[in-house]
Amino acid sequence: MPNDLWLSIGAILPIIVLAVWACLLLLVDLFIPAQRKGWTASLAAVGLLITLAVILSRLGQSQSGFGGMVMVDNFANFLSILLLASGLAAIALSHDYLQRTGIERGEYYVLLLFSISGMMLMGMASDLIMVFLALELLSIPLYVLAGIAVPRLNSEEAAIKYFLLGAFASGFLVYGTALVYGASGSTSIAKIVQVIQAGQHNLTLLLAGAGLILVGLGFKVAVAPFHMWTPDVYQGAPSSVTAFMAVGAKAAGFAALLRIFVLAFPVVSLDMTPVLWSVAALTMILGNFVAIAQKNIKRLLAYSSIAHAGYILMALTPYGQSNVSADSVASALFYLVAYALTNFAAWAVVIALEQADERGLELSDYAGLGRKQPALAAAMTVAMLSFTGVPPTLGFVGKFFLFRTVIEGGFIGLALIGVLTSLVSAYYYLRVVVIMYMQEGEPVVRRDGWLYATAFVSSIGVVALSIFAGPLIALASRAILNLF
Amino acid sequence: MFFEEAVSSGPQFFNLVPWIVFFPVIGLLFNIFFGGRILERSRAGEKIVGGVASLAAGLSFLVSVLLAISLNGHPEGMVVPLADWINIGELNIRWAFQVDTLSVTMMLVVSGVGTLIHIYAIGYMHEDVRHNGDPGRFRRFFVFMNLFIAAMMILVSGDNYMMLFVGWEGVGLCSYLLIGFWYEKGKDGIGNALAAKKAMVTNRIGDFGFLLAAFTIFWTFGTFKFHAIFEKAPEVAVANPGALLFITICLLIGVTGKSAQLPLYVWLPDAMAGPTPVSALIHAATMVTAGVYLVARSAEIYVLVPTAQFWVTLVGSVTALFAATIAVGQFDIKKVLAYSTISQLGFMVAAVGMGAFVAGMFHLVTHAFFKALLFLSSGSVIQGLERGHHHVEHDPKLKKQLKGHAHDFDPQDMRNMGGLRERMKITYWVYLIGAIALAGIPPLAGFWSKDEILADASKEFSWAYTLLTLAAIFTAFYMTRQILMVFFGKARTPAAEHAEESPLVVTAPLMILAVLSFFGGLINLPFDGFHQFAHWLEHTLGEYAHPGEFILVVALLSTGLALVSLALGWWLYNPRRYEEFWAIPAARRPDDPLRSYIGPIYEALKNKYWVDELYWAVFLNPYIDLSRFLADVIDWRFWHDWFHDRVIMGGYNLLTRLLAIRIDLGGIDAAANGLAVLTQRVAERLRQVQTGYVRNYALSIFVGVVIILGYLLLR
Amino acid sequence: MLFDYLPIIVLIIISTGLAGIAVLLGHLLGPRRPTLRKSVPYESGMRPIGPGARRMPVRFYLIAVLFILFDIEIIFFLPWAVVFKKLGLFGLVEMFIFIAILLVGYVYAWKKGALEWE
């Protein structure tokens, strides 16, 4: 066999390991009795850990494969590690929750692994076709996962909505890819860059293509006006799936957006910037203001997730300025980590309070949590403060970093909108805190070690990493994108 | 790791220094995780938990000794970096250990005295557990004690002002936790908690000064490291004398808080609410001397600012006299010692203020010995009395003598004691040694160190010398009064009559400390050839560590005055006279014989010059009134009721409703619906496949696409 | 550049045209003599039972989905077989991996009982 094939396979070895493990797990799971699905969960976690080990053993190298279709650089590795850690957190959140709500199936974990492998591929994809392939690989398992609580009606509804709209949005991505191909004669980012440098591209087609790619990926990360599926799907899907989806899909979507836009599309930045500006501003405003009216915690977190997509998109706005683009990437990655940790802390608490038949999800169910379960309430408080962006939490450091990038790029107005909407968000985030501590109530809480561990590790991480943020910032800054 | 390196580089163990912090941390972690289980399961649980804590402190002491040995060979010391802490721009703070003769002196005192007190506390807390019935407290106590050792070690070993501040706050926290250790006890059930709060709040004022000093240091010098600062200090003294003055005065504010000097001393007497080993360790021997250490550490700055030196000396010497007079009017055995501590700290602060750093540090060391000894012995006395009381209460025959006020019994009130000399022999003898050392009678330790301060003062600061000598006179007097009231005469209560000696685990550390209090002066006798301590500190303090002189007149005068005051005390409180005084019916009898002679003055002493009341009237009550006003009128009625509820919440609600209904539903959905006419064919197709709102969602996406593409293509 | 795609356009036109012409010719030239038998929907020669648009058991969909899955994937064999010699050992290994992945799905479907009617 040709030598570069081995190198290519070596480059995507982590994904291969994960996918093969998932396939085997699918078979092994057939022989695990229904009441012992904890084995499947553990095996899935082992698979993630092995993949993590493979990645960690090869850190620092940068390698492209399959004729430039994938690029395994620091950026991709950073994301892969984030995604694998998120996967582990998701498994920790899932097992007990699925069991007690009676929807535990072995396929759940297998689908999770497949989805993660798709997300990892998304971080590496340096060819528009690969982006599409990765998008489908990560999305299809998510569609199924959203509906895994069948026959619960709103779970089915969530799955079908997500699927239909996702397919709709994928269409735009493919159309955009086609237009870019039409404009430059290639789908490979490296070749597109060459063509653009040589000035042989068709600018109008390229612009339209870039716009459509933004739409397709914007749907995945839930920015306005492509966000409308988010509240319904987040509410309908099982909470553990939502927790994972919020982090994984966002991370993968932004990975592709960052790689494509920063590397391939600086030439259209003059025209794309106003679009990104308005989308980010609209997303932050809409997400934060509509969240105020929510009474259901899952819907609230869904709108919160939309708002945070807006914040991260804000970092992308100055992507075309070569002196800021590295900061764009670093601050977006850093914020993704901050969001992931905070998100898992919050969802762990949500899942701890959720009961069968979707009870325990109203904000009023959190009354008295501060007195009955001070530790959980503290974790939730940390998460809410981090979402708001109050020091000493990771959310604060992340927002600080983001705003700095945006201001460096010269978009003071956008940064101002970001700051003001953060202030607005304090209203609904802190309301959760107020309800937990100041209102009397008898919250029903599920005690589960993994759930608690996730809540505490994440919330402690949120605080500790904000105090010792240096190494994380350094890592994020080192995660630059490689073209070749 | 550390050990191997040390061996390879000859007879020096500097790299071991982090263990002075790690050992106590390991000890406290062990007790946190396993202590509870051990106490529940094992009958010897208390011994294991206390033993582990003592071992941790003891290992810390061992490391300190090794460091001292290493310093003998390499007196210049070493800075051992451990980790970077904060690295932002020019601000670079690392956790590094300053190993030199000054810091190692403090380490030896802290861990040495600390270990003895840990061992003592095993016995003492066993009794306390019996009286208060909560074994979980036992573990918590030793966790806090180890935490204190760790924090104090960080304080004395830091190589920069920020690490020192970390330790400074750490010991403050431990002090707070341990003063409020019996937080549910005390007056009205919150007395101890209030005492802890008072200590915390008062120290905040001092820490505020420290922080201001630290900020100014960074602003002026651009670093927090001791060496770098001291090198640049002479330049700065010329270029920017104001900054140095500000720094030193602010540091002095910090010192008055932590070392209980005027005007922030008020927390220390209340701090006696903590268990007695805590009073001995934190509030007498180690933590409160941190201020003295801070000034000695900053010697190279202070000598450049004579104004600051004057103020430090003034604060110290006035405090020394002021507190010594109050001690005369106290009846609580621990309160007497508390005011004595404030007074002695005044001696040390005055010493380091006038530039007599060696004398100050010397007194710090000897004071750590004899004041720890006195506090621990007083604990032994208190528990002896409690044992006696317990015995009486459970003996039906004796119980009648209690006359129904059994619950009012205060085992710390010296008027309830008397005659303990016979019942608690060991405690009596060690107490006596401590008292004589404190009173400054040769040849005990206290005499040498106090005399060195007085000798230094007599040369240049005659006013300070006068104040301190007066304080020394009062010291001898109140100690005589205490010894006579506690140990001599006849027992004045049934409890005192049946008091029992403490067990060996309590008395053994006392005896060791008594030996140290007796011979402690040997480390720095003021004769040529005997200035070991001064030479030892010379390696760190350089020219500022001048060995003390022996001035015969000063020594004779202070000894003579102490003896006179002792005689006066004997005349007033000797057993025969005190028994006669006690025989007067309670209604006509004043509380103390001294009152007959100096009535109103005595009232002032007893009430501590009404300083607490003054602070209440001048600072606290107005502050509370202001807080009430702000909370009730400004915050609640104006800010919350009107501004928040009406303006902000109303506005938010309006805006949210507007956005949710008008914009999101009305605007975007309406736009989508409007476009639906145009795109009806598409919509119809979609409707065949789906139901409900998905159409709208898809349309929303579609509208977004149209707008974005429209903009991009028609721009 | 679009010129490269001309053959495809030509192919589309020709194929659509041919099909259209065939239908149109049949429609125009064929004799039309409808009888009752002839106008009945064609159902493989047997007499139709009930209306055509009735509900089907959902199992048919499952079978249909499986059929599509495996059938379409097996179509990949065809181009592979055409260039098999060119690909050599690499192609063989690739195909085995492909089959192995299919096999995983097959075993899963089998074990889950998707192939059983009841």
**Residues B119, B512 contacting (CB under 8 angstroms):** no
Highest mean predicted confidence (pLDDT) among B321-325, B553-557, B576-580: B321-325
Residue in A4, A27, A66 to test binding to C, most C beta-carbons within 10 Å = A27
Surface of A (149-178) touching B: CB under 8 A: 160-161, 164-165, 168-169, 172
Band the pLDDT of B623: cuts 50, 70, 90. confident
Q: What is the C-alpha separation between B369 and B174, in angstroms, rounded? A: 21
Task: Tell me if B708 and A211 make a contact (CB, 8 A cut-off).
Answer: yes
β pairing state of A70-72 and B91-99? unpaired
Least confident of B583-587, B689-693, C10-14: B689-693
pLDDT tens-digit map of B132-191? 666 778 888 899 999 999 999 999 998 899 899 999 999 999 999 998 888 877 777 788
Question: What pLDDT sits at residue B612?
Answer: 83
Question: What pLDDT sits at residue A50?
Answer: 95
Q: Is A239 part of any domain?
A: yes
**Which residue's structure tokens are 């010719």?**
C25
Q: Is A89 part of any domain?
A: yes
Q: What's the whole-number mean pLDDT along residues A102-131?
A: 94
Pair of tokens at residue A318 = 């100055």
Band the pLDDT of A146: cuts 50, 70, 90. very high
Q: B253-274: b or e for each residue (b if 16 or more CB lie within 10 Å)? A: bbbbbbbbbbbbbbbbbbbbbb
Distance of CA B38 to the CA centre of its chain: 30
**pLDDT score of B692 more than 60:** no
* Residue-wise DSSP of C3-68: GGGHHHHHHHHHHHHHHHHHHHHHHHHS-----HHHHSPP-TTSPP-S-SS----THHHHHHHHHH
Which residue in B63, B100, B95 sits closest to B82, CA to CA? Answer: B95
Q: What's the whole-number mean pLDDT along residues B70-76?
A: 82
**pLDDT score of A226 more than 80:** yes
Q: What is the C-alpha separation between A367 and A356, in angstroms, rounded? A: 19
Pair of tokens at residue B350 = 């005055």
What percent of chain B has a predicted confidence (pLDDT) above 70? 91
Query: Which residues, in sequence order, are bridge partners of residue A355?
Result: A359
- Please, what is the Cα angle at B393 between B391 and B394, to 5 degrees? 70
Burial class of residue B517 (count of CB atoms within 10 Å of its CB; 0-12, 13-18, 19+): buried
Q: What's the whole-number mean pLDDT along residues A373-385?
A: 93
Radius of gyration of chain C (CA): 23
Distance from the C88 Cα atom to the nearest Cα atom in chain A, whole angstroms: 10
Band the pLDDT of B1: cuts 50, 70, 90. very low
The contacts of residue A213 (CB under 8 Å, 6+ apart) are A128, A172, A173, A176, A177, A180, A260
Task: Tell me if A27 and C1 make a contact (CB, 8 A cut-off).
Answer: no
**Residues B218, B91 contacting (CB under 8 angstroms):** yes
Neighbouring CB atoms inside 10 A of B200's CB total 18
Distance of CA B431 to the CA centre of its chain: 24
Residue B94's SS3 state is strand
Which residue in B407, B482, B402, B400 sits closest to B439, CA to CA? Answer: B482
Band the pLDDT of B46: cuts 50, 70, 90. confident
Band the pLDDT of B8: cuts 50, 70, 90. very low
Band the pLDDT of B117: cuts 50, 70, 90. very high
Number of compact structural domains in chain A: 1
pLDDT tens-digit map of B417-439? 888 888 888 899 999 999 999 98
- Top-confidence residue, B194 or A48: A48
Radius of gyration of chain A (CA): 21
Question: What pLDDT sits at residue A2?
Answer: 64
Q: Is A292 part of any domain?
A: yes
Task: Tell me if C101 and A23 make a contact (CB, 8 A cut-off).
Answer: yes
Question: What pLDDT sits at residue B659?
Answer: 76
Residue B527's SS3 state is coil
Q: What is the C-alpha separation between B60 and B379, in angstroms, rounded? A: 25
**Residues A287, A226 contacting (CB under 8 angstroms):** no
Task: Tell me if B697 and A271 make a contact (CB, 8 A cut-off).
Answer: no
Contacts of A26 in chain C (CB under 8 A): 104, 108
- Top-confidence residue, B416 or A388: A388
Q: Helices in B520-594 by DSSP H: which ranges?
A: 532-541, 552-573, 575-583
Q: What is the ipTM of this complex?
A: 0.88
User: Measured between alpha carbons, how far is residue B112 from residues A393, B54, B64 in Å?
Assistant: 40, 11, 9
**Nearest-by-Cβ selection for C107 from A1, A27, A185:** A27
Surface of B (573-592) touching A: CB under 8 A: none
Q: Is A484 part of any domain?
A: no
Residue in A3, A5, A6, A20 to test binding to C, most C beta-carbons within 10 Å = A20
What percent of chain C has a predicted confidence (pLDDT) above 70? 97
Least confident of B18-27, C52-61, C95-104: C52-61
Q: A30 at the C interface (CB within 8 A)?
A: yes
Neighbouring CB atoms inside 10 A of A105's CB total 15
Highest mean predicted confidence (pLDDT) among A2-16, B15-29, B630-644: B15-29
**pLDDT score of B401 more than 70:** no
Residue of B nearest to A222 (CA): B701
Which residue in A390, A392, A385, A381 sits closest to A466, CA to CA? Answer: A392
Query: Which H or E element spans position B330?
Result: none
What percent of chain A has a predicted confidence (pLDDT) above 70? 99
**Which residue's structure tokens are 């509370």?**
B624
Question: What pLDDT sits at residue B670?
Answer: 65
Query: How many residue pairs bridge chain A and chain B with CB atoms within 8 Å of each other?
Result: 80
Domain-wise residue ranges, chain C: 55-118
- Top-confidence residue, C73 or B206: B206
Torsion angle (degrees, nearest 10) of CA A224, A230, A232, A236: 180
- Mean confidence (pLDDT) of chain B: 84
β pairing state of A70-72 and B78-88? unpaired
Q: What is the C-alpha separation between B658 and A292, in angstroms, rounded? A: 12
pLDDT tens-digit map of A308-342? 999 999 999 999 888 888 889 999 999 999 999 99
Neighbouring CB atoms inside 10 A of B498's CB total 19
Q: How many residues are given for chain B?
A: 715
Q: C13-24: b or e for each residue (b if 16 or more CB lie within 10 Å)? A: eeeeeeeeeeee
Contacts of C112 in chain A (CB under 8 A): 30
Handedness of CA A37, A41, A42, A47 (dihedral sign): positive
**Residues B294, B254 contacting (CB under 8 angstroms):** yes
Question: What pLDDT sits at residue B631?
Answer: 78
**pLDDT score of B684 more than 50:** no
Question: What pLDDT sits at residue B682?
Answer: 40
Handedness of CA B644, B647, B651, B654 (dihedral sign): positive
Question: What pLDDT sits at residue B672?
Answer: 58
**pLDDT score of A88 more than 90:** yes
- Please, what is the Cα angle at A209 between A206 and A210, to 5 degrees? 85
Distance from the A131 Cα atom to the nearest Cα atom in chain C, whole angstroms: 22
Q: Helices in B31-135 by DSSP H: which ranges?
A: 36-41, 45-73, 101-132
The contacts of residue C54 (CB under 8 Å, 6+ apart) are none
Q: What's the whole-number mean pLDDT along residues B28-33?
A: 89
Q: What is the C-alpha separation between B616 and B628, in angstroms, rounded? A: 16
What percent of chain C has a predicted confidence (pLDDT) above 90? 19
**Nearest-by-Cβ selection for A26 from C1, C89, C108:** C108
**Residues A46, A17 contacting (CB under 8 angstroms):** no
Residue of B nearest to A215 (CA): B705
Residue in B640, B705, B706 to test binding to A, most A beta-carbons within 10 Å = B705
**pLDDT score of B4 more than 50:** no
Distance from the A3 Cα atom to the nearest Cα atom in chain B, whole angstroms: 44
Task: Tell me if B668 and A225 make a contact (CB, 8 A cut-off).
Answer: yes
Q: B458-476: b or e for each residue (b if 16 or more CB lie within 10 Å)? A: beebeebbebbbbbbbbbb
pLDDT tens-digit map of B254-306? 999 999 898 888 888 888 888 889 988 888 888 999 999 999 999 889 988 88
Q: What's the whole-number mean pLDDT along residues B23-31?
A: 92
Which architecture characterizes domain C55-118 according to CATH? Up-down Bundle (1.20)
- Top-confidence residue, C53 or B476: B476
Q: Is A71 part of any domain?
A: yes
Q: Helices in B394-498 by DSSP H: which ranges?
A: 396-399, 420-423, 425-439, 445-460, 462-487, 494-497
**pLDDT score of B689 more than 60:** no
pLDDT tens-digit map of B200-217? 888 888 999 999 999 999
Q: What is the C-alpha separation between B482 and A404, in angstroms, rounded? A: 67
Residue B100's SS3 state is coil
User: Could you give phi then psi for residue B99, rounded to 5 degrees?
Assistant: -105, 105
Q: What is the C-alpha separation between A25 and A44, in angstroms, rounded? A: 7
**pLDDT score of B6 more than 60:** no
- Tell me the whole-structure pTM to 2 decimals: 0.58
Band the pLDDT of B691: cuts 50, 70, 90. very low
Handedness of CA B507, B508, B509, B511 (dihedral sign): positive
Q: What is the C-alpha separation between B320 and A13, in angstroms, rounded? A: 76
Pair of tokens at residue A299 = 């819907």
Structural domain of residue A276, as residue ranges?
3-478
pLDDT tens-digit map of B454-466? 888 888 888 999 9
Contacts of B663 in chain A (CB under 8 A): 286
